[in-house]
Structure formats: C-alpha cells, structure tokens
Structure 1
Amino acid sequence: MTRMWGWLLLGALGGGCASSRSAELLPEEGRASAPGAGRMAPTAEGFDAKAFAAQFPNPAVCERQARRYLPVSRENAWSALKACVESTPFTQLQALIDRAWAQELRTRPEGASLLAKVVAQRGGSVEGDLRLLHERKLPLFSLASAISQPDTYKGRYILVRAQVGDRRSEGEKSTLWLVEQDLTSVPQEVQLGTAHRRESTFTTMGDVGGQTSLGSGTVGGSLAQTELSRDSVTIPAYDNMSNETGREALGRLASQDPFLEPGRDFIILARFDGMRTTSGASDEEDEGPSIPVLSIVSYYTPHPLVVY
C-alpha cells in the first residue's frame, strides 16, 4: 500500500493500551454487599478494587455489586466497576450505560476508554454499539460522522475499528495510516452430526465370438462401474468477516507502540483533530484529498465472537 507522507508535520497525543461472556450466578450476590447506612464506607485509598472483583467472576453480578456502592461512595463504586471490566469477560454494555453510571461515564477521564474496552470485548461491532451509546447521549462518535462534519466533531472522541496499513516514526512519536473496517456476516453451510458414505461396485463380464478373414476368434472382457453416495445434514452458520469501508485516517501516537501491528483489527479510541489536505498525486496537482487526523487515546483487540 503506497501512501503520501511527506506533506505532514504532525504532533502527537495519546497512548496505547491493550485488550479482551456471561451466566448469572445469583448465589454469588450474597458474598459481599455495600456498607449499610450505619457503617462508614472505606476510603478510596483503603478500598481494594481488585480483591472486590475477584469475589465475582460473573460480570453481571460484579457490576450489580459495584452499583450498590454508589449511594455511599461514588469513588469506590467507580473503582469497583473498572475492576469488574478489567477482571471479567465484561460484555454488559446495557448495564454499563444505564442511568446509574451515566454521571461517571460523562465526567470521569477514563469513562470513554472503559466504554471502548467493553465494545471490544463484545466483538467490536462499533456501528451497532455506537447506536446504543447515542440512545443514552454518551459522546462517542463514528469516523464517518467526523468526516462528514469536521467542524462539529473536532475535539470529540471517535471510536473506530481499523487496521494499521503503514507506520512512520520520528523520534519517539509515531504516525499510523489507519484503514477503517466493518463487520459483515457471511453465511456458510456447516455439517451437523455424522456423514454417511456408501460405495457400490458393479462388474459385467462377457465374451464375443466371430469369423474374420483370418479365421474364427473370441474376445473376452469386463466392465466395472462404481457408484458413490454421501448423506449428511447441514445447518446455516454465519461468520463475521472484516472488510474495508473505504475510509482512512492518520493516527498519532505520543510514543512508538510495537503492539499495534499491521494487518490486525483494533478498536481505537481517539480524539478527532480535524482534516488535513494531502499533497497532489502529480506535479500538476497542488492539493490532494483531505484525510482525518486522530490522536490515539487507547486501543483494544476485539473479541472474535460478537455480542448483539
């Protein structure tokens, strides 16, 4: 993939981070509870969020227990929720964006990153999950929206599923060429159970006699025929395939990150810094097309299974 890089003087902001399903075990909920009205909540310094989350391997139960801390200590409740997301296969986006956590998600600096991580753990269906966030007026937006109205979305958070197409480094700073991806469901037939194969062989033999100018004679021979048949039952199955959307962007990192590998999908949270005009493709062209510029805040590897 050939790209134009010479025209850009880019600064950088951001950093990187890394990545990662649920039955409800209701008896677990009795293990711990928030402090009662007559008891003082532990201070933020004295609250062990990791130990709290370790009690509740079921993510739905973990979130409900964290929610019980909200009336007595929003700081401890938020720490507990973050530990639930970090320590369990948390995919409960609807519970996370419920009204109970709305204030924390809008005001906490790490709120957007927490949402991005959960979207990745749900399989990275960015378009579908953004619709859920927008129903709750949570300010994460798509790359398509930013490109269509750059002045409106400049400075706002963008959530994008993308692959790294190319990379350029200058000192510690790094600039990535990002190729946006979306998920397409591709059907295929999958065998169910055991297939049965039958093979039959038929052989026919005979002799033919006759008179020729050279005298009488006999010719013998045989004919073999084989028939094969196979019986099996199949069901339709669907695989999620990643495809390019045609939209691209430049992603800026404050430092080089070897884990952002080319050819792999990532869920990237970034700040939209506006559009930059590329140089022309030939000497006669003064300007090329504009491309969005993003400052990468965090990124996560999407789970291979998608939660809808």
Structure 2
Amino acid sequence: MVAKSDTAIMLMNLGSPDSTAVPDVKKYLLEFLMDKRVIDYPWLLRKILVGGIIVPNRAANSAEAYSKVWRADGSPLIALTKQLQTALQHDLEIPVEITMRYGNPSPQATYEKLMKEHPNLKEVILMPLYPHYAMSSYETAVEYAKEVYKKKNYPFTLKVVEPFYDRPEYIEALSESMRPYLDQDFDHLLFSYHGLPERHIRKGDVTGSHCYKVNDCCHVASAAHKQCYRHQVTITSELVAERLGIPRNKWSISYQSRLGREEWVKPYTAGLFETLPKQGVKKLLIVCPAFVSDCLETLEEIAMEGKHSFISNGGDSFTMIPCMNTHPTWVKTVALLCKEEMAQYA
C-alpha cells in the first residue's frame, strides 16, 4: 500500500473491451469509433456510418480476433498496462494508477479512486502512453481526461506529459528493447505504425501550408511538426535506426490498420507483406513503435495475420519484435518523464 500522497501519476492507454463477448466488443467499438477525433465526420453521419454499418459488420469478427490474443488475466493491453503500473510503482514513492480512453477504468473512475485514497491530493501527472501526437490517439486521450477533470471540478491540478517521440531516453528504451532481435539474420526491418487518414495530417497542420504541400515536408523545419504524426514517426524511426546501426537501405516505414476507403498515410503495411517477398525480402523483422504495450493490433493483426500474409506470399521468416511493455529502460523512461512534470522535482 502506497502512503498517502499529494501527487499521483495516471498512465493512460487506449483501452479494450471488457471481454471477448460480442456485446462487450460492440459497446467498445461504438465508444471508440463514435469519437469525433477518430472518425471526424458530423455527428449524424458518424452515427449512421458507425452504428448502422461499421459496428454491426465488424463486431463479431473483432470479437473473434480478440479471442485469439485474450489472456488468462484479460485483455493484453490492460494486463500489460497494469504490469507497467506495478513496475513503475517499484521505482516511485507516489501512487501510480491506470486509466483508459475507451472502456474501463475510465478517467472519472481513476480520479475518484485517487481522491478517495489520497484526500490531500494536489497534483496528478497524466502520462498518455502515446509517443507520437495524433488527433485520434494522443489528442483525444488528453482532451477527454481534461474534459472529465474540468466537469467534475477536482481540487488537484492536472499536468500532462507531452509526446516524447524524439526524447533520447525514449529512443534508448525502444532501441534496447529491439536490440536482442537484431542478432538474427534478417533482410529488412519494417517500422509499422498505426495508420490514419491523410486528411488528419492536413487537418492537424497548424500552418495550413506545410504537410503534403512542401517537398520532403517531414524534414523541412516547420511549426506543423509539433502536431504532425507522420513527421514524428519518421524521426523516431531514423533515430532508432541510427542508434542501432541499421543501414538506411535495410529499413523502412509503413502504416497499418486502415479503415474505410479514403486515402490513408502510405505505404500500407498489408500491401508490403505481399510485395516485399517478391522484391527479395525473405526474412522480415517488424516493430510497431506507435504502441508501447502489445495489443490486438500487434498480436493479432501483425504477428498472426501479417505473418500469414508474408509467408503466403513467399517470405521465409517473420519476426514480430514485442512492444516495450515493461522493459526496464522503458520503465525508467516513464518515471523520468513523469518526474519532470512534478512540482517537487521542479
């Protein structure tokens, strides 16, 4: 039991259904896809699209996919986030709790738990477990946590850890978690990031004149980069590849989890699983740095479905590098990032 404290940390991840039962998966998908920052259409159109088409057609298949990766202790993402919480708690003397953007535990439930157990709470450090800024991930998590905080008028202050995609400590943690897998013979390393519509990149461009408008826009300095997912994942990949000494011709970036028919950020991971073997890439390593905890998108979409596609198209070996999960260097990085926001460390 952690002693009473006036400061606490709240780790915030994406979330998961409460079970693999279709009703629970349907409830989760509705909450997730009705988020205006995930599918940013007008409410009525979003309601028709999500409630009338997407969820009814996807819920059963999604439930089956979740059942393939579900653990004895529940959802992999929830279980691994709890393990990170426990590991971090060993390094800190202040309380560490978890919350989810969708599903349970909700921000309100976590705020209330902290207030009950620490009535003199003065400060909560919100640590979004998203290295990169995107409207549909980091932004929606932070804004939702803030919305609940303001609505309930809690007496403590709320401080938020910013995206850390280029922080040396994060680059070190990600690199060290990957390093053991580089000992094997491989033809190519693929950095596969969660995808999003190109429209989201343009919408997030605070300058209105940079993203997809300037040649090599990810490498041309701009205020747009602070909220540009594409720029940030590019920088993460380049820094990690440099740290690990991987030649530029032996790695690339792709984007997974496309939904709908509009243009998403390219290239698509699924397409590369089909074309890479034909280009001589027979031994593939793949890592998904947009996620810090393994989840449906890494364990089922990539490690199962992706592997099957790659091998079926002529590949010989496919190795999925796990997310950082509770790697010791990652735990230390989380502790450092949170401490930097704490008043007593200022």
> Does the pair score TM above 0.5?
no
The structure richer in helix per residue is: 2
TM-score range, shorter chain: under 0.3
If the length of structure 1 is used for normalisation, what is the TM-score? Answer: 0.23
Which of 1 and 2 has greater Rg? 1
